[in-house]
Amino acid sequence: MATKPGIPKGTRDFSPVEMAKRNYIFDTIRGVYALYGFQQIETPAMENLSTLMGKYGEEGDKLLFKILNSGNFLSGIAPEELGEANTNKLAARLCEKGLRYDLTVPFARYVVQHRDELTMPFKRYQIQPVWRADRPQKGRYREFYQCDADVVGSDSLLNEVELMQIVDTVFTQFGIRVCIKLNNRKILTGIAEMIGAADKIVDITVAIDKLDKIGLDNVNAELKAGGLSDEAVARLQPIISLSGTNKEKLAVMKDVLAESETGLKGIAECEFVLDTLSALGLRNAMELDLTLARGLNYYTGCIFEVKALDVEIGSITGGGRYDNLTGIFGMPGVSGVGISFGADRIFDVLNQLDLYPKETVTGTELLFVNFGAAEAAYCLPVMAQARQAGVRCEIYPDSAKMKKQMSYANAKAVPFVAIVGENEMNEGKVTLKNMATGEQSLLTPDEMINIIKK
């Protein structure tokens, strides 16, 4: 008996309805990016392994999907080398390419490779799949999409302002209520200096970034386990639990970080972004969140994260400012700022809140019943007219029984069916059946099209 086919763990098939929903997400994000002057690029699914290795840390390197060289990939490998079973050493010999792990490193490579062709500042967006050899689990896949936008070649905080407007516009169009959280790496650096633990910045931020997930007591325990003294942890408490309006938080932090030049610069940057946005009338809340950390080894300025207000789920968008995107490829000093929408999580939120517009998941709007060759010949030009008017329609390809054709229409949730027999052909008309109400009307093709379009 033939083995039932399947797909690799951590990957998914998407049905026509799911694809309609996903395309709605991608098209919405793509449209807003274009509205703000961003241009689309694409990079290959595979990159040279030398481009990818060493860019994500030791753990990231382990999660890279490596591609065996073409042809006899074992040529030049001695039997004793195979016997050693040193996978890292063998991978370097057997694999010259790998699947991209994210869109950021390929983008950095793109900027360096095409630097003479780009107009700076360069505003790019990219919506493509990435691959990670991770252990599959709920909400974590080996293949998933990223929807990135970055501005490189500019230090202006107006870029941060514009990216927050993009986030606000996208989620307003989706109908998802969100809170946009803002912090700054420089503020966190200042905090670490203030409590006398500048060398523990990574431990501090990794711990406080888990506050929502594990609670204050566990965060404090993790801070102490990371080497912070009881005094340093105690000095951190008022900052971790700081509440109030954004202005009140900024005022408190100005006093707390009065001796930190770096910290005060971070406060000034956040203040500019928040003040500018408040004058622009965002439809979603902006919150200064001093526990927001994200990947602090990567980010150097403002950092962002977006949380859905009506669904329990992790971050659905994130990003921030980085100072040296292209330095990993020998072109230092190119500052940038970017965001990435979590398409898969947005998909789940829209499903849970049932926010997909009806027309998004509607495929065929009008099905022509096929009674035979003469009737089909009559329907084809009418169908062409309907398509020209923007009506999505099809004809059942075979002159099957009426029940079978209606079952087909119901299975595809087609809202209207056009029935053409001898009487309709003689009158130059069509009988239109509304599948929801069962109502039938004898109409001219123009009348039929107008009803469906309404």
| Helix 230-240, helix 246-256: angle, nearest 10 | 150
Q: DSSP secondary-structure letter at 3?
A: P
With beta carbons less than 8 A apart as the criterion, state whether 236 and 219 touch. no
List, in sequence order, every beta strand (DSSP E) within 69-196: 95-99, 122-131, 143-152, 178-184
Q: Is 216 annotated as a binding residue?
A: no
Q: Is 321 annotated as a binding residue?
A: no
Q: Is 102 annotated as a binding residue?
A: yes
Q: Which two tokens stand for residue 277?
A: 């946005």
With beta carbons less than 8 A apart as the criterion, state whether 217 and 241 touch. no
Neighbours of 135 (CB within 10 A): 10
Strand 336-341: give its sheet, edge to edge: 39-40, 122-131, 143-152, 336-341, 317-322, 302-308, 178-184, 285-288
Q: DSSP secondary-structure letter at 157?
A: T
- What is the separation of C-alpha 220 from the centre of its chain, rounded to a whole number of angstroms? 32
Task: Report the relative pairing of strands 336-341 and 143-152 from DSSP bridges.
Answer: antiparallel
Residues contacting residue 48 through CB under 8 Å, at least 6 positions apart: 96, 97, 98
Neighbours of 167 (CB within 10 A): 25
d(CA 413, CA 425): 27
Q: DSSP secondary-structure letter at 190?
A: H
With beta carbons less than 8 A apart as the criterion, state whether 262 and 193 touch. yes
Q: Is 294 annotated as a binding residue?
A: yes
Q: Is 90 annotated as a binding residue?
A: no
Q: Which two tokens stand for residue 364?
A: 């065929």
- At 398 the three-state DSSP class reads coil
**Binding site residues for L-histidine, as ranges?**
102-104, 132, 146, 150, 294, 298-299
**Binding site residues, as ranges?**
102-104, 132, 146, 150, 294, 298-299
